[in-house]
């Protein structure tokens, strides 16, 4: 099957999934206790007449099923609603905030893969040695420690106690952000030659990137370690060694490529975890991304941003997994797109 036909078939299957997730998210958002109109009006304007006008303005005076149908139609028309707690459309907010979350997720993924693969391979090479036990201990703690707890610990130790890193935020308030080109602060700083801003943003991202990436790093270490150990037992590896090939060539040219194939398929799910798991980290570190936007929307019972943000992540997750499937088929010729 061609890549185009495969993409069309996968995309056609995404529409009912989107509608299903929209319905479920819509219902969950509506059962959250509280009145959005009362929160928007505030305690000074909580009389019934004012609340009724606000509910009508928000479209909350209609029956639930009508609200759901209207939102589904509007969503597929490109109208993702209005964020009442910010005073901007949801599309404007997501366009401003998504690059922040994307940058955080990409850096976390890069950190996790780089360090995780290196430690996983080293653990497999040093099998049943002190180095192996130490690396496995790192993986064990990474799986067991919640990212939000690790974030609070790092803020207290590195930010508050030793003052080695900024306590939170994305950039020092006294610094002027670079001109917006891509929305990615690090990349925009480099493109505009603002090295000081680049260094400042990078120092602000160290702790959140470590918190998000550490859990993934632990899983990558275990995955790569087991995969490398299995590949090293394969007959073709024994043949390569019998031919007198250097250990480095056997490991990196023959063993590692096949050992990393499971990591490629797993990376799609991992990136989806990063996008969803950034909610707590962005809130703790005060990063104005999609995660903090979802958190604020839940607090203010602002339904449209919650629904739009979740659905946007589902679409991104689909695209990433599609790319991963293509890469998986390229790396392993035995795999065919079905």
Start-to-end C-alpha separation, the chain: 7
Sorted by sequence, the CB contacts under 8 Å of residue 284 that are 6+ apart come out as 148, 151, 152, 155, 168, 208
C-alpha 102/C-alpha 307 separation (Å) is 19
Closest CA to 55 of 27, 35, 30, 70: 35
What pLDDT does 335 receive?
55
Domain 90-331 has CATH 3.40.1190.20: no
The whole-number pLDDT of residue 26 equals 86
Residues of the chain with pLDDT under 50: none
Which residue ranges does the chain devote to CATH 1.10.3720.10?
90-331
Of 169, 174, 152, 170, the C-alpha closest to 161 is: 152
What pLDDT, on the 0 to 100 scale, is given for residue 337? Answer: 56
pLDDT of residue 329: 67
Calpha distance 81→92 (Å, rounded): 10
User: Of how many residues is the chain composed?
Assistant: 338
């Amino acid at each position: 099957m061609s890549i185009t036909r495969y993409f069309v078939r996968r995309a056609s299957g995404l529409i009912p999934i989107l509608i299903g997730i929209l319905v479920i998210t819509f219902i969950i958002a509506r059962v959250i206790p509280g009145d959005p109109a009362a929160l928007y009006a505030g305690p000074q304007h909580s009389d019934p007449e004012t609340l009724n006008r606000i509910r009508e303005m928000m479209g909350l005076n209609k029956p639930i099923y009508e609200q759901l149908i209207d939102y589904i139609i509007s969503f597929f028309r490109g109208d993702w609603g209005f964020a009442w707690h910010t005073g901007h459309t949801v599309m404007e907010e997501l366009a401003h905030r998504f690059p922040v979350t994307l940058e955080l997720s990409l850096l976390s993924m890069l950190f996790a893969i780089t360090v995780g693969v290196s430690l996983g391979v080293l653990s497999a090479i040093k099998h049943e040695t002190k180095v192996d036990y130490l690396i496995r201990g790192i993986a064990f703690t990474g799986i067991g420690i919640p990212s939000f707890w690790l974030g609070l610990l790092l803020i207290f130790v590195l930010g508050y106690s030793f003052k080695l890193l900024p306590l939170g935020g994305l950039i020092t308030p006294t610094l002027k952000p670079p001109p917006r080109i891509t929305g990615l602060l690090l990349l925009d700083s480099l493109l505009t030659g603002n090295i000081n801003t680049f260094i400042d943003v990078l120092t602000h991202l160290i702790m959140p990137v470590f918190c998000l990436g550490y859990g993934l790093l632990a899983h990558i270490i275990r995955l790569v370690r087991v995969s490398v150990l299995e590949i090293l037992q394969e007959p073709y590896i024994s043949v390569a060694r019998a031919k007198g090939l250097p250990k480095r060539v056997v490991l990196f040219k023959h063993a590692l490529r096949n050992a990393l194939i499971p990591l490629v398929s797993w990376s799609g799910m991992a990136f989806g975890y990063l996008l969803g798991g950034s909610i707590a980290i962005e809130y703790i570190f005060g990063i104005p991304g999609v995660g903090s936007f979802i958190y604020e929307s839940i607090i203010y019972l602002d339904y449209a941003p919650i629904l739009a943000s979740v659905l946007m992540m589902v679409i991104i997750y689909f695209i990433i997994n599609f790319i991963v499937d293509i890469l998986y088929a390229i790396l392993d010729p035995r795999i065919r797109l079905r």
